[in-house]
Amino acid sequence: MSKKGYSPDNAACEGCFGRLKNEMYYGRRWTSADELETTINAYIKFYNTTRIKVSLGGYSINQYRALNQLEPKLS
């Protein structure tokens, strides 16, 4: 997330965290930190490779990037 007061970056991050909690976290009990970490990593992989986004024309994030040859920003 970005510095205080720069809401466009924070909104995207908060939205992603909110979806992660709603779709993966709530309603489950975790027996260890390792189990939670493994599940979060699996969800992030699912989110980027499988979960479709209507705003991207029904493609997953990785499919959309591949079709449009977009490189992820590493800033």
Where residue 69 falls (left for φ over 0; alpha for ψ -120 to 50; beta otherwise) is left
Contact between 63 and 75 (Cβ < 8 Å): no
pTM (whole model) above 0.75: no
Q: For residue 56, what pLDDT is reported?
A: 84
The encoded tokens of residue 70 equal 């977009």
pLDDT range class, residue 75, cuts 50, 70, 90: very low
Mean of the pLDDT values across residues 23-39? Answer: 88
pLDDT of residue 33 exceeding 90: yes
Q: For residue 63, what pLDDT is reported?
A: 86
CA distance 7 to 31: 35
State the DSSP string of 19-52.
HHIIIIITT---S-HHHHHHHHHHHHHHHHHT--
